[in-house]
Amino acid sequence: MTTRHSAASLLAYGGLGLPLAMAALPIYVHVPKFYADTLGLSLASIGFLLLLARAFDAVQDPLLGYWSDRTRQSGRGRGVWIGVGAPLLALGMIGLFVPPNLSPSGLSVWLVMMLLVVYTAYSMITISYQAHGAEMSADANERTRIVSFREGLGLIGVFLAAALPEILSKASGARAGFAQFSYLFGPLIVILALVMMRSSPPAVTTHVSDEKRIFAVMLKPFGNASFRPLLWIFVMNGIAASIPATLVLFFIEDAIQRPDLTAQFLIAYFAAGAAGMPLWVRLSSRIGKGRAWFCGMILSIAAFVWAFLLGPGDATAFFIICIMSGLGLGADLALPPSILADVIDIDERAGKGRNEGAYFGLWNLVTKGNLALAAGVALPLLGWLGYAPKGAHTAEVLSALAAVYALLPCMLKAVAALLLWRSPFFTSPSKDNP
């Protein structure tokens, strides 16, 4: 039960995280700017459409988690969802970034349709993928190592997603550049999904739940007393992270006024996250996962709050902020899913069996809700405050952009840190399960 998996087997498992991250960054960061700047939709419309698509999509995540658990119990395994989802996601990404020439109303309908395809396929893969990762070991520290491989390789995918669209767009124009990116993405995710299904370590935690009622299984996590405080922390911290992700391209272009350095800023941020990942894995094994995550939150706040003071030409200062806050990102990526896997053990110890799919279905629902709130609130708020992409902006409007981009997320992350500080994950510094 405490076997340490080989690096090669964890690379096979974690490799699928690379194309999933390549899909996530464009969906959450590039789509608003691509459809606003290149295709001409308004920010308010895009924010509303993202919120609408996310709200509709969120309903399916607990169902997908339930069905993933059922296929595991039936002996077919979770891989069937990954095998179906990978080609569907490849096609959805092409549809999203290679839209036909339509009127604004037609383009709005197309955007919602493609978002639903992409979101559905992404959820099919991600829920089963993360649930399988939680089943690969019953050892608390090995779980953090498993997650660090997945998220570390995911950060490489983020590097590619940050650099390739910029490079391809500069060479061929925005529409052609994103089209080329989507054509490269398709074969990559299909190949790495096959590698993951064939060569990743098998599940070792097999005490499944006997419960078959769909709503009872879907709501089962809320009966776990340790899941509820973890969920609230994750919600507040997730919204805090989602707002800058939604607004970063606008901030770089209009506040820093160095859009030519966009790829370098993003790569610096995510490279720091990857470099810091071993630090958080090691620190969590020494002081506990909750306390290590708290340290990461404080580091992120202390670094990122200074972005509010930046203005035109402050590229060097923004690079430093990207690196320092990126170090804190590693804690957000490596530790919460590992803590969640430990929380699921409580059900098993109580004789209730395991339902990883149900837990990660809700986890993904909350992740999407965080992103939907960030887009559905931050973008219309900026429009109400007078901000519009590529417009002539007063100092007051740029100050409002900086406040929404930097101060609001820091306030929300401070609330998350306070909740974590008062939770059993901090007060009980055990390195094992809560």
Sign of CA dihedral 384, 389, 390, 394: positive
Distance (Å, whole) CA 230 – CA 366: 12
pLDDT digits (tens, 9 = 90+) for 31-84: 877 888 778 777 777 877 877 777 777 778 888 888 888 887 766 678 899 999
What average pLDDT does the segment 363-367 reach? 80
Residue 215: CB atoms within 10 A of its CB come to 9
188 pLDDT tier (thresholds 50, 70, 90): very high
Distance (Å, whole) CA 147 – CA 140: 11
431 pLDDT tier (thresholds 50, 70, 90): very low
The helix-helix angle for 315-349 and 356-373 (nearest 10°) equals: 150
Q: Could you tell me what percent of the chain has a pLDDT over 70?
A: 91
Judge whether 355 and 12 are in contact, CB under 8 Å. Answer: no
**Helix/strand/coil for 76:** coil
The stretches of 251-310 forming alpha helices (DSSP H) are 262-287, 289-304
What average pLDDT does the segment 186-214 reach? 81
pLDDT digits (tens, 9 = 90+) for 84-108: 999 999 999 999 998 888 887 888 8
What is the phi/psi pair of residue 200, to 5°?
A: -80, 160
Q: Burial letters for 118-142: b for 16+ Cβ neighbours within 10 Å, e otherwise?
A: bbbbbbbbbbbbbbbbbbbbbbbbb
- The position carrying tokens 């490849």 is 90
- The position carrying tokens 């580091």 is 299
369 strand-pairing partners: none
Judge whether 118 and 93 are in contact, CB under 8 Å. Answer: yes
Among 59, 56, 60, residue whose Cα is nearest residue 81: 60
Q: Burial letters for 9-21: b for 16+ Cβ neighbours within 10 Å, e otherwise?
A: bbbbbbbbbbbbb
- The whole-number pLDDT of residue 2 equals 56
pLDDT, greater one: 134 or 383 = 134
Does residue 432 register a pLDDT over 50?
A: no
pLDDT digits (tens, 9 = 90+) for 314-338: 999 999 999 999 999 989 988 998 8
- For the entire predicted model, the pTM comes to 0.75
Distance (Å, whole) CA 291 – CA 372: 28
Lowest mean pLDDT: which of 190-199, 234-243, 293-302? 234-243
- The position carrying tokens 């608390």 is 140
- The whole-number pLDDT of residue 61 equals 83
Among 65, 54, 29, 57, residue whose Cα is nearest residue 363: 65
What average pLDDT does the segment 187-191 reach? 95
Does residue 1 register a pLDDT over 50?
A: no
- The whole-number pLDDT of residue 195 equals 94
**Helix/strand/coil for 56:** helix
- The position carrying tokens 């993202």 is 50
All domains of the chain in start order, with CATH: 7-204+212-381+393-427 (1.20.1250.20)
Q: Could you tell me what percent of the chain has a pLDDT over 90?
A: 26
